[in-house]
Chains A and B, each alone.
Chain A
């Protein structure tokens, strides 16, 4: 199959959220000895970009985002072992520690952001919901994270986003991490007020934001 057709099919597999096709096409690419890094960049990544556009246009909703993220994972599950055996590594967009702050058990939005970040090439460490603030920092230190992403659904728990930033300052670690905040009560204004590095309204915007803040490191 010519490369362009293969890439178009890969893009379609992501847009359709078809994990089986995404995985099968990845195996095909590996067998044909294609440059797998190029396959990711030109085959799958444009599919994700299209999914983001469809979301922004109000054509796609949460189920489609999840299916597309899953399809991307299915492709990467085939490609990553191949890259490893060739001593290559897929370009990582950065490492992100993510969770819903303590006192808050809501995790729908957080899960979606985690999933989309992972599909978008970030290495994601999801700590779950009701996460102690110290735990975010411990994990970020342990894995050498670039981002700490904080979710909160309640007006009462969003204050913990501010507390985390204060805690980082106390520990003299603030400059090491980009802190991103999200959740229904959060806003750009809130992010600025508490000194966060960014706010995103939804999962698609979160991936864009993280990418804009973290120029790919060599």
Chain B
């Protein structure tokens, strides 16, 4: 089973899911509260979101555990519940997954910095990520997805921790910003260096998510494709958030505009595609329709 997702990637373009946080808020998650606590307090709501994504065509959904590392949970005073919340996250997605579909254990950044910019050592980061990865694996994830990483050093800690704690395949996506010299992370890691180092450390798929809209992501995929033969992941934002007069948040790239660049993302070499901030099941449905037509 554990290699199943990689076999699927070899056969065809794999469809991931879209945003989780906004879906939770639409179901009443209060502003500022910890999304992961809903894995035990409102499990039906989380499972419902996963089921919606599978229903519209996702091959893989990501668990509600983006902020589930001990270090991140500590901001909500929930660090003692790290194992419980992550294992529950994986179980909920597993329960929603039809046979032959996959669960990716989502692992986001800690929100803290390594020394010298921050207080943490690489060992501390690696241990925190290993703990989260172990719990996601126990809960039934098929693959671990380390995502939205803005510091290559942190991403490598996460990757080492995840590989130490489980035998699951590990995928990693970085978040890159466009600067005059090309695409770089917040910490200044180039695309080439990021992908090469992640590959060397044992990532089985690499790529990018967040920050960029789908048009920009298509451009980044072309750059990434030249740097690695690993399967490539691309999950773009639906542009920038816009707050309407009534306080409702929409995104600058509407559904049609977003989906218009999906063929380009796939043609440019992305093997696993999905959405990030501002996307929802309707976006994934439209992407599924394109992939089927193809």
**A interface residues with partner B (beta carbon < 8 Å):** 56-64, 66-67, 102-108, 130, 154-159, 185, 187, 189-190, 193
Contacts and interface: CB of A to CB of B under 8 A. Distances in A.
B179 interface: yes
Contacts of B32: 102-105, 130, 156-157
A56 to B, nearest CB: 8
Contacts of B241: 155, 158, 185
A185 B31 contact: no
B117 A66 contact: yes
B111 A106 contact: yes
B247 interface: yes
Contacts of B38: none
Most buried by B among A64, A185, A190: A185
Contact of A157 (B31, B76, B188, B240): B31
Nearest to B210: A184
B282 interface: no
Nearest to B67: A105
A68 to B, nearest CB: 12
Interface centre among B76, B117, B182, B249, by most chain A C-beta atoms within 10 angstroms, is: B117
Interface residues of B, number: 25
* Main secondary structure on B side of the interface with A: loop
Interface string B5-32: 0000000000000000010010000011
Residue from B25, B31, B247, B249 having most chain A Cβ neighbours under 10 A:
B31
Interface of B: 22, 25, 31-32, 75-76, 111, 113, 116-117, 179-182, 184-188, 240-243, 247, 249
B238 to A, nearest CB: 12
A105 B187 contact: no
Contacts of A157: 31-32
Nearest to A130: B32
A63 B188 CA distance: 8
B188 to A, nearest CB: 3
A83 to B, nearest CB: 28
B187 A62 contact: yes
A62 B186 contact: yes
Contact of B188 (A64, A155, A158): A64
A105 B260 CA distance: 35
A57 B180 contact: yes
B35 to A, nearest CB: 11
Nearest to B189: A61
Nearest to B33: A103
Contacts of A108: 111, 113, 186
A62 B117 contact: yes
Given A66-B117, A102-B32, A58 B181 contact: yes
Q: Which 9 A-B pairs have the closest CB atoms?
A: A103-B32, A61-B188, A58-B179, A58-B181, A185-B241, A155-B249, A58-B180, A155-B241, A105-B75
Given A156-B31, A185-B240, 9 more contacts: A58-B184, A61-B184, A106-B111, A108-B186, A130-B32, A155-B22, A155-B243, A158-B243, A159-B243
